Structure 1
Amino acid sequence: MVEREISLKKEIWEWTKAILIAVVLAFFLRSYVFATSIVEGTSMDPTLHNGERVIFNKAVYLLDEPERGDIVIIQHPNKNYVKRIIGLPNETVEFKDHQLYIDGQPVNEPYISPEQRQETEDFGPKKVPADQYFVVGDNRDISKDSRNGLGDINEDDIIGRSEFIIFPFDQISFTR
């Protein structure tokens, strides 16, 4: 009987340790590595749609710099935004005749359709300050972004890179 009680106590202790380790690990991952965000609005159509939930990588920019084409989560005082980086620090961004130019060179943007490209109005040239990024939505016609309200984005305001769509379940896919 005593042996059985000791065995039961050991088993309960092992389960308690396992649950505590899982909770601590989940808290660590959620706080420092991965988190979720909900896409609000249609500014990232057709890449991301209103109501989709994405997992974003919070740790990636601790070891690396944001790159052109990354879909990022931007922390803003009133809400978070999901946008695509197109201009890097110290580059000159310009939209002319529905074409993106970086430092005077045309840039291919395979993530937007020809129809969306035709909706892109002329802008710039605009030099991106050091330690800041120029972001736009893929749905250029309606996006609030660096051209019209968000301005250039400080590197510290970029809280992660979108990696996966996880909801709705029939849309599960990579966002990169």
Structure 2
Amino acid sequence: MAGANMERCSWCGTEDIYVEYHDAEWGVPQRDSRMLWEMLVLEGFQAGLNWITILKKRENFREAFEGFDPDKIATWGEPQIEKLLQNPGIIRHRGKIAATITNAQAWQAAEQNGGFDRFIWDYVDHQPIQNDFQSMSNVPAATDLSTRMSKDLKKAGFKFCGPTIVYAFMQACGLVNDHMTNCPRHSEVARLSQ
């Protein structure tokens, strides 16, 4: 892991929780189907907010959503939605909560059809894309690939997965390496991809 004085990607700032996320998790290739699903759900909750808001509430989300167990969440209905709307520890947005239930059901269908992890990683031929951005201003909010994945996710029944959300998901889960080239994590994450 990179040192305390490294020149990190500027987006992570200096707050400990953000720095730790940048240094240990963001961009690392994630191949666990349930973790990929959890990250897609959290990226959906992040829509319209800053990611640090989600990071600070992530453990509350995990508790409220039973460890992000899609098999449990797929069975939920209005009583669980109403309960979650009263939970101040999460983002209380009816549409996003309902979408999590729908997304759990879509995840189950993907698992039955070869696996959600395979579905996601097929878009990059199971090998992370290594970008070489030198400035945050060069990083796109969405790409043709994230647009295609978004459309396919929606066809598969997923909600809150527009092209921008999907690109952020791809960055977070290491389908693309968008660490800046001057950030030591760029080469570290690239090595993890091999």
Question: What's the TM-score bracket when you normalise by the shorter of the two chains?
Answer: under 0.3
Provide TM-score, normalisation by structure 2: 0.25
Which structure's residues are more often strand, by fraction? 1
Q: Which has the higher contact order (CA 8 A, sep 6+)?
A: 2
Which structure's residues are more often helix, by fraction? 2
Q: Greater Rg, structure 1 or structure 2?
A: 1
Provide TM-score, normalisation by structure 1: 0.26
